Amino acid sequence: MGTARVSDGATIGGVTISNANKVWWPDEGITKGDVARYYHAISPLLLPWMRDRPLTAERCPDGMLGGCFYRKNFPEGNIPVGAPRLRLRAASTGKDVNYVVGGTLEALLGLVRVGCISMHVMNSRVGSMHDADWLAFDLDPSSGEFSDTVRAGSVLRGILDEHGLASFPKTSGSRGLHVFVPLRRGHSQEDVTAFAVLIGEEIARRAPDLVTMAHRKSARGARVYADPFRNAFLQTIAPPYSVRRRPGATVSVPLAWDEVTAKLDPRRFTMYTLEKRVAAADPWSDFNRRAQRLPD
């Protein structure tokens, strides 16, 4: 979407963005302020996917070529102004984590203010944290070829159709494809993950030369990794319209299945090219209305 260059210390959406003219994408000249303006413009579409969901964010204080890390625990002195918080205990460490809860423009822009580029949300909301409302597959091509991901996505869609499950694809914003299945309330993350593992194993069985469930990269070869573990408790995935730390400032974009072809180039979806697309019909407009139960 169109974003104008801004001066240092600009106020965007009521939030002061410090160092707004700091260049985050050197090759393209994209600044921190540009990212804030994009998120401000896209917020009516993005915020519903973040609302009431604890999140992690990819923090890159010096831009995409600097040191970046995923931040989930926001200490008191580093909490974005106006951001709701939720304290959850990490199973891996047994320590409490102060998560930011998404859904407000102030919190979203506050994350940019402290250097965050890419947002990642959980599949459950505050008040029902053990109740997943979507299942997500992350198809990641080891070869780097998006056409491999398209083929894997077609196999996955066929299997989900056989189970009577509506599914919604989107670009990951990088090289991969995310496939979401909207769920009615009453599914634990454990049950959703177990079902996703079964589906992943079936994809790999039907297309063993194309898809793998191997977690270790060294065991994948050139195959697409079908990752079912984005569904586990406290795991996160990029929501629709999140910017990604990739050349060109690419964005994760909802698709219709008939768009998922070998001709699709996900690199064309960037902060600067979405304006015409989002003005047209939303291919995910009936996502929530299609919520369904997983088969027994």
**Averaged over 185-211, what is the pLDDT?**
97
Q: Are residues 54 and 100 in contact, defined by beta-carbon separation less than 8 angstroms? A: yes
Burial 19-44 (b: 16+ CB within 10 A, else e): bbeebbbeebebbbbbbbbbbbbbbe
Q: Are residues 101 and 85 in contact, defined by beta-carbon separation less than 8 angstroms? A: yes
Within 8 A by CB and 6+ apart from 291, the residues are 133, 182, 183, 184
**Averaged over 41-56, what is the pLDDT?**
97
80 pLDDT higher than 80: no
Higher pLDDT, 245 or 1: 245
Domain boundaries, the chain: 10-122+238-248+265-278, 134-234
3 pLDDT higher than 60: no
Tell me what pLDDT residue 78 has: 65
Q: d(Cα 80, Cα 178) in Å, to the nearest integer?
A: 28
SS3 8: coil
239 pLDDT higher than 70: yes
Beta bridge pairs of residue 169: 179
pLDDT band, very low/low/confident/very high, at 84 (cuts 50, 70, 90): confident
Within 8 A by CB and 6+ apart from 113, the residues are 15, 16, 17, 18, 36, 80, 81
Reference 15, options 92, 101, 112; nearest CA is 112
Within 8 A by CB and 6+ apart from 133, the residues are 123, 124, 125, 182, 183, 184, 185, 187, 291
Q: d(Cα 14, Cα 46) in Å, to the nearest integer?
A: 18
Candidate from 140-144, 159-163, 224-228 with smallest mean pLDDT: 140-144
Class of the CATH-defined domain 134-234: alpha beta
How many other β-carbons are positioned within 10 Å of the β-carbon of residue 279? 7
List the alpha helices (DSSP H) in the chain: 32-50, 105-113, 146-162, 189-206, 275-279
Angle of helix 146-162 relative to helix 189-206, nearest 10 degrees, comes to 110
Tell me what pLDDT residue 92 has: 76
Q: d(Cα 267, Cα 249) in Å, to the nearest integer?
A: 9
Q: Are residues 32 and 22 in contact, defined by beta-carbon separation less than 8 angstroms? A: yes
**Averaged over 9-16, what is the pLDDT?**
91
Q: What percent of the chain has pLDDT over 70?
A: 95
Angle of helix 105-113 relative to helix 32-50, nearest 10 degrees, comes to 140
Q: What is the CA radius of gyration of the chain?
A: 19
Q: d(Cα 130, Cα 270) in Å, to the nearest integer?
A: 34
192 pLDDT higher than 70: yes
**Averaged over 182-189, what is the pLDDT?**
98
Burial class (CB in 10 A: 0-12, 13-18, 19+), 145: middle
Q: What percent of the chain has pLDDT over 90?
A: 83
What is the chain's mean pLDDT, rounded? 93
Q: Which of the listed CATH numbers 3.90.920.10, 2.60.40.420, 3.40.50.12280, 3.40.140.10 matches domain 10-122+238-248+265-278?
A: 3.90.920.10
Q: d(Cα 45, Cα 48) in Å, to the nearest integer?
A: 6
56 pLDDT higher than 60: yes
